[in-house]
Amino acid sequence: MVPKHEKLSKAKAKELLEKYNVVPNQLPQITLTDPTLENMEVEAGDIIKITRKSPTAGESVYYRVISIG
């Protein structure tokens, strides 16, 4: 039910920010207290990659930056 959430490595995160030419606070957010992040070793400021099913594209990738709850 819950789409796949994974933490991006520092290098990957930097790559992402460069690809979209954004600063972290221009990304969509997810709170640190979100239940999906419960068993992950993450901290505020990390970027989460979400891979989910999409009715239009089959599978789509989304990124969220962790904000303090």
Partner 1 sequence: MEVVREKIEKLEFKLISPSFMKKMAIVKVITPELYDADGYPVDGGLMDIRMGVVDPGLRCRTCGGRVKECPGHFGFIELARPAVHVRFVPWIIDFLRCTCRKCSRILISPDKIAAYVKDIKKIERQKGELEKWKFIKGVTKRCRTVSKCPYCGEKQSKIKLEKPTTFNEDRIRLTPIDIRERLERIPDEDLLFLGLEPLAGRPEWMIITLLPVPPVTVRPSITLESGQRSEDDLTHKLGDIVRTNQRLFENLNAGAPEIIIDDLWDLLQYHVTTFFANNISQIPPARHRSGRPLKTLAERIKSKEGRFRRNLAGKRVDFSSRTVISPDPHIQINEVGIPQVVAIELTVPERVTEWNKDYLVGFVKRGPTKYPGANYVITPDGKRKKVIPDTVDVILEEIKPGYIVERHMIDRDVVIFNRQPSLHKMSMMAHYVKVLPGKTFRINPCTTTPYNADFDGDEMNLHVPQTEESRAEAEMLMNVANQIITPRYGLPIIGSEQDHISGCYLLTQEGFTLSRSETSQLMMSIGQFEKLPAKKIFTGKEIFSLLLPEDFNFEGKTKRCRRHDKCEGKDCEYDCYVCVENGQLKSGAIDDRSIGAGSGKLYHEFIKFYGTERAIDFFQKVSLLGIKVLNMIGFTVKLSDTDIAPESFSEIKSILNNAEAESYMLIEKYNKRQMRAYPGRTLKETLESNVMSVLNRARNKVSKVVESHTSSKNYTMVMADSGARGSSLNVALIAACVGQTALRGSRINKGYSERVFPHFEKNDLGPGAHGFIRHGYKGGLNPFEFFFHAISGRDSMMDTSMRTPKSGYMQRRLVNALQDIKVHFDGTVRDSSGTVIQFKYGEDGIDVTKSDGGKINVGDIKNEVIG
List interacting residues with partner 1 (CB under 8 A): 20-22, 25-28, 54, 56-57, 60-63
**Composition of the chain by helix, strand, coil, percent to 5:** 25, 35, 40
Which CB, 28 or 45, lies closer to partner 1? Answer: 28
Q: How many CB atoms lie within 10 A of CB 14?
A: 12
Rounded to whole angstroms, the Cα distance separating 38 from 32 reads 9
Which CB, 23 or 39, lies closer to partner 1? Answer: 23
Which CB, 2 or 57, lies closer to partner 1? Answer: 57
- Considering the complex, what minimum distance in angstroms separates the CB of residue 9 from partner 1? 18
